[in-house]
């Protein structure tokens, strides 16, 4: 159920209401609807629970029953799109957010070099993995906490936000101190303990689609994060596995408009992992923006062929500049068409 609060209700009153609901045995989280404060009751309700119980609570103006499992990620209640603001940067609005950097943080020197280059070319978020989940246990696994320190230092110097992946619950407390956006990778899309952990933090989370996840699977994974009280979730399409083996994955461009129809959450596309082929990154980035993506996440290196991880899908700075110029032009065209 969603409890729509009266117009004169403030944040302190809403917090008091949530605590009261928890005392009554319900789990409730904030969930604003069309500019009005609201509370979503995400568990504790059964068939015997009557709406009159909630109508009698202070500050409650209206009680709405939800007819679907997707209580918070869907558009049944929140019809307007979510815009996530981070230090003045908005994800989900009219601006195209470009996240760029190496697959893995390799050294302090290379991180600063790449950060300077992508910042000057139009990126607003520096990406880089410090804890790397690899198929082979013998591949480079990342620098750990030292890596996110380098990422944060380089981003601060060049005016960028940061995003880096967490692989398990224990890493959340480490990474959250250094980065602006926590990433949940495709392998962990249904790691429910991890989803609940990042749902309890006060920082945005970018959730990547799993290798074989349906749209419903994907959105229900996002629901885990939202139901813990963190409303700042970004969805990332990064390709799925099919019978085709020419590309690393099959980048599902259809996911962009479909997810935007089903959910109010921002949608970002990763054409690097989506294709696994350097020459395909720019055309698929352009296609993603034309389809309505709110942002892109690409792997960029000053010397791609020597990148420690994912060299074949990593583009160089000149290709990145061309990509930014191309996708911004497409974004401007789509904006002008919507006016």
Where along the chain do its domains lie?
Answer: 2-64, 84-338
Q: Please, which pLDDT band fits residue 199 given cuts at 50, 70 and 90?
A: very high
Please give the pLDDT value at position 272.
98
Interior/surface letters 217-234, b for 16+ CB within 10 angstroms, e for the rest: ebbebbbbbbbbbbbbbb
Task: Report the SS3 class of residue 10.
Answer: coil
User: Is the CATH number of domain 84-338 3.90.180.10?
Assistant: no
Please give the pLDDT value at position 184.
97
Under CATH, which architecture does the 2-64 domain have? 2-Layer Sandwich (3.30)
Mean pLDDT of the chain: 92
pLDDT in tens, 238-281: 999 999 999 999 999 999 999 999 999 999 999 999 999 999 99
CA separation (Å) from 225 to 9, 77, 101?
Answer: 26, 17, 26
Please give the pLDDT value at position 103.
94
Please give the pLDDT value at position 186.
96
pLDDT in tens, 168-183: 999 999 999 999 999 9
pLDDT in tens, 39-92: 888 888 777 777 788 888 988 998 888 767 788 999 887 888 999 999 999 999
Percent of the chain with pLDDT over 70: 96
Residue 212: which of 175, 180, 249, 246 has the closest Cα?
249
Strands 97-101 and 125-127: parallel
Phi, psi of 27 (to 5 degrees): -105, 125
Phi, psi of 62 (to 5 degrees): -150, 145
Do the domains 84-338 and 2-64 match in fold?
no
């Amino acid at each position: 159920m969603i409890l729509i609060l009266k117009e004169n209700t403030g944040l302190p009153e809403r917090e008091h209401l949530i605590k009261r609901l928890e005392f009554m045995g319900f789990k409730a989280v904030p969930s604003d609807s069309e500019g009005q404060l609201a509370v979503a009751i995400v568990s504790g309700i059964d068939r015997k629970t009557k709406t009159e119980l909630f109508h009698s609570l202070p500050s409650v103006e209206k009680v709405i029953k939800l007819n679907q499992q997707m209580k918070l990620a869907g558009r049944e209640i929140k019809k307007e799109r979510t815009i996530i603001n981070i230090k003045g940067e908005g994800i989900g609005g009219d601006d195209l957010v470009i996240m760029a950097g190496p697959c893995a943080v390799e050294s302090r020197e290379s991180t600063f070099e790449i950060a300077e280059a992508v910042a000057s070319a139009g990126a607003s978020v520096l990406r880089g993995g410090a804890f790397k989940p690899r198929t082979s246990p013998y591949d480079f696994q990342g620098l750990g906490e030292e890596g996110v320190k380098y990422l944060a230092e380089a981003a601060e110097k060049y005016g960028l936000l940061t995003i880096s992946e967490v692989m398990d619950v224990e890493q959340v407390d480490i990474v959250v101190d250094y980065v602006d956006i926590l990433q949940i990778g495709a392998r962990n899309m249904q790691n429910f303990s991890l989803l609940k952990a990042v749902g309890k933090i006060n920082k945005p989370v970018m959730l990547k689609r799993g290798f074989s996840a349906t749209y419903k699977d994907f959105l229900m994974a996002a629901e885990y994060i939202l139901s813990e009280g963190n409303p700042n979730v970004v969805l990332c399409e990064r390709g799925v596995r099919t019978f085709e083996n020419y590309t690393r994955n099959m980048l599902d461009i259809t996911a962009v408009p479909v997810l935007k129809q089903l959910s109010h959450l921002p949608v970002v596309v990763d054409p690097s992992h989506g294709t696994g082929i350097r020459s395909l990154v720019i055309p698929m980035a352009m296609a993603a923006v034309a389809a309505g993506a709110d942002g892109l996440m690409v792997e960029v290196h000053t010397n791609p062929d020597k990148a420690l991880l994912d060299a074949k899908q990593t583009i160089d700075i000149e290709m990145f500049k061309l990509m930014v110029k191309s996708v911004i032009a497409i974004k401007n065209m789509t904006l002008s068409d919507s006016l």
